[in-house]
Amino acid sequence: MEKFNDRVAIVTGAGSGIGRALALEFARRGCKIVLADIEEQPLDESRNLVSALGVEALAHRTDVTQAESVESLVAATIERFGAAHILCNNAGVGGGGLIKNQQLVDWKWVIDVSLWGVIHGLHYFLPHLMDADEAHVVSTASVAGLLSHPGLGPYNAAKYGVVAIMETLYLEMQQDPQANVGVSVLCPGVVNTNIASAQRNRPEHLQRERKSVDGSKSKGARKQNDAIAAALAAGKDPAEVAAIVAKAIEERRFWVLSHPEHLSDVRHRNEALHELANPTLPRSFF
């Protein structure tokens, strides 16, 4: 995009982490900001931070798993600002555990938020982006959308899906002579966010069935959760990631990898695929 000033930027998952950082980054660049999140208090806090920068901000509570909720977000955006220029499909949740221990509700919850949230965002916002003189859409996947790590089956599946959808959309926009929509996919590594506590927003109907587990399994799960929490606490500052995303939008660059240390593993995976070699464990994931 050639300019950010007076553009309308929509960010889902804007109540914290990368989403809040993206909203603030775009606000500093002069955008009008639409903030969407399922949690009202963090959403209001983000709106206040954005408004303090002297730009117009609209906060709209949104459940990205529900089509009608995203449709309502679009209606509120167009009613308030009359256009949409930058869409960040950023809302997502994490989920861990071995596939053999997953319950169906684990798959449904992670995929509903992290994959269907992107699908809903594109379905309802894309017509308005295509109506703009210039627009851009970026969806947050993960390095887990490029490299599979054991213990993250639902998360890997959702993030691979996001990468596939965005790559497809990029090619379609390139072929469409009527479109001036840039497309990017963000594949961050470990970022200092609260994604490890995403269970706080898990709906009642998708809660796990309580099953007895032996002490060794429970201890193993706690150990993995502690390792993930420690890695997140030492992760990259979300503001750094947001600045990288804004630069990618300026350059109309598709791939946005905030952690270049993962590129060697991505290259190794692609080379192994070329040789039809069996998968190996990524070295730089955590």
Q: Give the residue numbers annotated as catalytic, written as ranges.
A: 155
Q: Which tokens in the block code for residue 11?
A: 């960010």
∠ at Cα 129 (123, 132), nearest 5°?
155
Which residues are CB-neighbours of 137 under 8 A, at least 6 positions away? Answer: 86, 87, 88, 89, 122, 125, 126, 129, 169, 181, 182, 183, 184
CB atoms < 10 A from the CB of 6, how many? Answer: 13
Q: Which tokens in the block code for residue 133?
A: 């003189």
CA-CA distance, 7 to 83, in Å (whole number)? 8
Which residues are CB-neighbours of 120 under 8 A, at least 6 positions away? Answer: 64, 65, 66, 67, 70
Q: Can you name the residues that pair with 183 across neighbouring β-strands?
A: 137
DSSP annotation of 251:
T
For the chain, the distance separating the N- and C-terminal CA atoms, rounded to the nearest angstrom, is 33
Residue in the block written with tokens 């970026």: 138
DSSP state string for 85-142: -EEEE-------B-GGG--HHHHHHHHHHHTHHHHHHHHHHHHHHHHSSSEEEEEE--
